[in-house]
Amino acid sequence: MARHTVVTMPGDGIGMIVLPEAVRVLEAVGFDAEYVHADIGWEFWRSEGNPLPDRTLALLDRHKLGLFGAITSKPKREALAELDPALRDKGLVYFSPIVAMRQRYNLDVCIRPCRSFGGNPLNFVRQTTDGGMDEPFVDVVIFRQNTEGLYCGLEWTDPPAQVRDALATHPKFAAFAGTPGPDLAISTRVFTRNACHRIVKRAFEYAREHGYRSVTVCEKPNVLRETSGMMEEEARRVKVDFPEIALWSTNIDAQMMWLTKNPEDYGVIVAGNMFGDIVSDAFAGLVGGLGFACSGNIGDDIAVFEPTHGSAPKYAALDPHIVNPIAMILSAAMLLDHVGESAKAERIRAAVTTVVSEGRVRTYDMLKIPGGPDAFRKGAATTEAVTDAIIAKL
């Protein structure tokens, strides 16, 4: 029997294309595992009214380890319109299955490394004072609180009277008290001390273990005094046990501006759910974009690894496949780290580094040409060819 069982959840669109590529790499590197498929995504919302079916949860409960591709999420009205007519008046509400999974299993620590690969033509370059160019080496790891904040799901349009009454106990609600219910939308940002503590602690531990010299809390405590304030407070508390690591604090807006000024100065970054979502895409943009952005959603019991790109439906229909499998492959490498197979993970990362820097086999994004059926004529490699090249270097 294999040592590990990985629940594979390809999901929608290009998730179905890139996930099998990551499995091929895991097999090639000699990971002792078997794979069980699990249903997730838009198709199951439409046909069953549930994009995260119970049978999928049962598999995760059992095997504890997941690889996830991508899912399509659509706004409220469109989601309802696409639901099987037989299910339409049952009061079903679409909720992103990946967000639901993070919350159900308390996968509260999201790790998103953004590291430059040498020779990647998509790396960020910056003008130097003498008019030349320089390419800062970015090595940032974002720790995103993955279950709370603005993603907590506590939201209303036309909030019930009790909610309005409760809010009216706060003087700031006076400004909204006259707004008619249907014209009032509220999304709440909930932080708990426990979750703030956990994400900050994991960030510091990671910094220590991997030799990063700073942890930066990226929030907005000057305005979001309670929630961002709590994150900062916990960071100061945790820092005491990590004297060798500096604690910095940036505001999310300023961080977006500094992003292109001094990205090489940052090490580990920790943020709440929404700001973590933003700052991780932003840094990913400096190191090749979403085609390179990998992540792990980690709880005490269960962990799920996924590329942070979406399902890109317009590319999913193209055959041969054009999309970059590297984000998914790097996510599989993170899965290996998680189960204590870091040597294999390093072999994968080294193989990716070589393929990217040699530049002989590149998907369209790395050639900086538009994605589409024309890409091959312009020299782009297929998804599978990039995987093959990585496997050849293992």
List the one residue from 227, 255, 308, 383 that touches ligand IPM (CB under 6 A): 308
List the one residue from 14, 18, 83, 99 that touches ligand IPM (CB under 6 A): 99
CB of 313 to Mg ion, least distance (A): 17
User: Among residues 247 and 279, whose Cβ is nearest to ligand IPM?
Assistant: 279
User: Among residues 5 and 96, whose Cβ is nearest to ligand IPM?
Assistant: 96
Give dist(CA 293, CA 330) in Å, integer.
8
Q: At what angle do helices 383-392 and 15-28 cross, to 10 degrees?
A: 10
Pattern 16-55, Mg ion, x by CB under 5 A: ----------------------------------------
CB of 281 to ligand IPM, least distance (A): 7
| CA nearest to 125, candidates 285, 295, 242, 248 | 285
Which residue, chain included where needed, has tokens 């598999």? Answer: 59
Contact 23, 2 (CB under 8 A): no
Number of other residues whose CB lies within 10 A of the CB of residue 190: 17
Q: Is 214 in the site for ligand IPM (CB under 6 A)?
A: no
CB of 283 to ligand IPM, least distance (A): 12
User: Among residues 70 and 380, whose Cβ is nearest to Mg ion?
Assistant: 70
Pattern 260-299, Mg ion, x by CB under 5 A: -----------------x----------------------
- DSSP code per residue over 278-312: HHHHHHHHHBT-GGG-EEEEE-SS-EEEEESS---
**Judged by CB under 6 A, which stretch of 96-104, 182-190, 322-330, 357-365 contacts ligand IPM?**
96-104
User: Among residues 31 and 292, whose Cβ is nearest to Mg ion?
Assistant: 292
Query: What separation in angstroms does the CA of 121 have from each of 35, 203, 286, 311, 315?
Result: 34, 30, 11, 24, 22
Q: Ramachandran region of residue 315, left (φ > 0), alpha (ψ -120 to 50) or beta? A: alpha
Q: Is 5 in the site for ligand IPM (CB under 6 A)?
A: no
List the one residue from 5, 96, 187, 249 that touches ligand IPM (CB under 6 A): 96
Give dist(CA 338, CA 285) in Å, integer.
25
Q: Which residues pair with 139 in a beta bridge?
A: 115
Q: Is 306 in the site for Mg ion (CB under 5 A)?
A: no
Q: From ligand IPM, Mg ion, none, which one binds at residue 96 (CB under 5 to 8 Å depending on kind)?
A: ligand IPM
Contact 269, 142 (CB under 8 A): yes
Q: Is 145 in the site for ligand IPM (CB under 6 A)?
A: no
Classify burial at 86, counting beta carbons within 10 Å of its beta carbon; exposed 0-12, middle 13-18, buried 19 or more: exposed
Residues 276-305 binding ligand IPM (CB under 6 A) are 277
List the one residue from 40, 98, 141, 355 that touches ligand IPM (CB under 6 A): 98
Q: What is the 3-state secondary structure (H, E, C) of 238-282?
A: HHCCCCCCEEEEEEHHHHHHHCCCCHHHCCEEEECHHHHHHHHHH
Give the interface with ligand IPM as residue ranges (CB under 6 A). 73, 96, 98-99, 277, 308
Give the interface with Mg ion as residue ranges (CB under 5 A). 277
